[in-house]
Amino acid sequence: MSDCIFCKIIAGDIPGKKVYEDDEILAFHDVNPQAPVHFLVIPKKHIRNIMELEAADTALLGRLLFKAQELAVEQGCGEKGARFVINCKDNGGQTVDHLHVHVLGGRFMEWPPG
C-alpha cells in the first residue's frame, strides 16, 4: 500500500534495521525502542490490523507468531521471556496501520500496561 510506512520499509524505500526477512515476513528493530530488545514482526501482505484478518490469513499469522518466538530466542529472550504485543486501532494504541507484533525483552515489564 503506497502510503503505508511499513510497506515502504518492506519495499526498501525507507531504511529499516532488519532482523529477519523471507517471502512473507519481515522483522526489524523498532525506531523507538521501549526495552533493550524491541523489534517488530510484520507480514509483507498489507493487513491493516488484527480485526481485518481473514480465515485465509490464519496460516500466515501462525508463521508470524512462530517466527516472533524464534527471533525472541535468537535475541536472548528464551530464558527470561519477552512480551509479544499486537496493538489494534485507536483504543489498542495502534499508530501504524499495518499488522505488527512487537517483541519486547531484556527487562522486566509491569502488568497491566498504562
Among 1, 31, 59, 73, binds ligand DGP (CB under 6 A): 31
Among 4, 20, 30, 106, binds ligand DGP (CB under 6 A): 30
Residue 50 DSSP code: G
User: Is 46 a known active-site residue?
Assistant: no
Options 23, 32, 91, 114; binder of ligand DGP; rule CB under 6 A: 32
Total residues interacting with ligand DGP, rule: CB under 6 A: 13
Contact between 19 and ligand DGP (CB under 6 A)?
Answer: no
Residue 26 and residue 10 in contact, taking contact as beta carbons nearer than 8 Å: yes
Instruction: Centre a 10 Å sphere on the Cβ of residue 28 and count the other Cβ atoms it contains.
Output: 20
> How far is it, in rounded angstroms, from Cα 80 to Cα 105?
8
Q: Are 66 and 15 in contact (CB under 8 A)?
A: no
List binders of ligand DGP among 70-99 (CB under 6 A).
87, 93-96
Task: Give the number of other CB atoms < 10 A from CB of residue 108.
Answer: 9
User: Where do contacts with ligand DGP occur on this chain (CB under 6 A)?
Assistant: 5, 14, 16, 28-32, 87, 93-96
